[in-house]
Amino acid sequence: MGALATLPIFFDLRAKRAVMAGGTDGAAWKAELLAASGATVDLYCPAAEIGDEMRVVLELPYPDGAIRHHDRPWGTDIFPAAALAVADCETDAEAKAFFCAAQAAGVPVNVIDKPPFCQFRFGTIVNRSPVVVGISTDGAAPILGQAIRRRIETLLPATLAGWAKMAARVRAEVMDRLQPGPARRAFWERFSDDAFTRRVPDETAELEARAFVRELSARPQAGGRVTLVGAGPGDAELLTLKAVRALQAADVILFDDLVSDDILELARREAKRMLVGKRGGRESCRQEDINAMMTRFAHAGKHVVRLKSGDVSVFGRSGEEIADLRAQGIPVAIVPGITAASAMAGAFGVSLTHRDRAQQVRFVTAHSQKGDLPDEMDWRALADDHATTIFYMGGRMASRIAEQLIAHGLAGETPVAVAAALSRPDEIRAVGTLSQLGEIVGHVGIDRPILIGVGRVFADVEAAALLGYEPERLDPSRQTSRLQAKAV
């Protein structure tokens, strides 16, 4: 483990005494926090110095704690039998006196907003009690800590507190019926999934949780399941929250060749990772072997995450996997991801649909099982000037795609956009016209994971390119290539 600026500790204050000096607004927040944690807070401050916030805090009810006001200044006699000491002092001299007195009495001490006189810090808190998250920047950047708290708040539903209380109720049965190891972890992972996906931890949810405990005690392998997860185009920040939760609950991850290392870094450390990618023109795992692996691990009671680039339901052969898993009686869940076409629209700064230019959008595979263009493609329908068409896996077929579309009526001047390695550090983007498509893809590189967009929604991008304008890039290391049809 790397160096820690401070040691995060969760301190049980129920039925313990804390002492506090000062009646300021800053002290009021700390007094309320201590009382809410179950402490009896003895506040030492002359009544005339009590601020408005502290007066409010003194009147609040606390289920397990209390605040007792003593109308006098603090003295060295207040520290015996105290678990913590907190003060808000105007001067460094008073802060030092309070600090030394508490230290001499062996009481951990904090002087608000004076780091040299603090043995501990409060940090920023996300409260889903009994789930409590503490955030510390070691006093260096409190505003950053608050920003982190806001991020975490969005991840933790308000109902999580109820689920945590239910966990306390069922814990004894889990410990009694389930052996340490896979069975217990299978229960708690399923329970955690419910906590983040079901709204209310009601009586039915508790009955189902207890039933699952009994099922696992009879059949430990009953916890086996598969989750198909869309990894998006590559950038880890484009993952859904549900995808991250699935990765962090996985026993085994079967991932595609195009899944980035940054995404795999978000997975549970103990999870077994297995590359099962399929790339055109390269040695690949057979789909039958992938299906067999998922079945074998799930039947062994494992939570298997099948991690696919883009969205699992778009040209990912997930239909075959779902059918096979269901035939084996294995529970399967789907976590959608951002498909490459959406990432392409974001990269080029366009909308794939447009009231005046494209009333429909089509996703088309340019690669059949035979390694050629699919025989069933309706080129007359695809050559529609009022639609946006995105061709997946079209690098080697680019010239033939252009020939077919032009032969079936689409103008050679129709704008096209080509992207490779979308949202990754080595991303390349290029624009031009349909008649140039083969040349553009050749320039980008046919062996790269290429996406081709055809349609008038890319006209503004093309015009910008002809004027020498490059759309803003997310990362300075990314490249934006331009093939210009003519000089301006």
Q: Establish whether 278 is a catalytic residue.
A: yes
State the CB neighbour count (10 A cutoff) for residue 321. 22
Alpha-carbon distance of 223 to 219, in angstroms, equals: 8
Which 3-state string (H, E, C) describes 248-307?
Answer: CCCCEEEECCCCCHHHHCCCCCCCEEEECCCCCCCCCCCHHHHHHHHHHHHHCCCEEEEE
Ordered DSSP codes for 180-191: TTHHHHHHHHHH
Alpha-carbon distance of 416 to 459, in angstroms, equals: 8
Contact 345, 351 (CB under 8 A): yes
Whole-Å CA distances, 288 to 240, 259, 262, 291, 315: 28, 20, 28, 5, 17
Q: Which of 242, 232, 238 is nearest to 198 (CA)?
A: 242
- Active-site pick, 42, 88, 256, 324: 256
Contact 126, 135 (CB under 8 A): yes
* Packing angle of the helix pair 287-299, 318-327 (nearest 10 deg): 40
- Which string of b and e fits 400-438 if b means at least 16 CB within 10 Å? ebbbbbbeeebeeebbbbbbbbbbbeebbbbbbbbbbbb
Tokens of residue 114, six digits: 């004076």
- Active-site pick, 16, 96, 272, 278: 278
Residue written as token pair 């997310």: 474
Alpha-carbon distance of 468 to 452, in angstroms, equals: 21
Q: Establish whether 242 is a catalytic residue.
A: no
Alpha-carbon distance of 338 to 313, in angstroms, equals: 10
Distant-in-sequence, close-in-space partners of 389: CB < 8 Å, separation ≥ 6: 361, 362, 364, 382, 453, 454, 455
How many residues are recorded in the chain? 488
Alpha-carbon distance of 100 to 92, in angstroms, equals: 12
Q: Which of 257, 262, 258, 253 is nearest to 229 (CA)?
A: 253
Q: What is the DSSP letter of 354?
A: B
* Packing angle of the helix pair 203-218, 160-177 (nearest 10 deg): 30
Alpha-carbon distance of 191 to 209, in angstroms, equals: 7
- Active-site positions read 256, 278
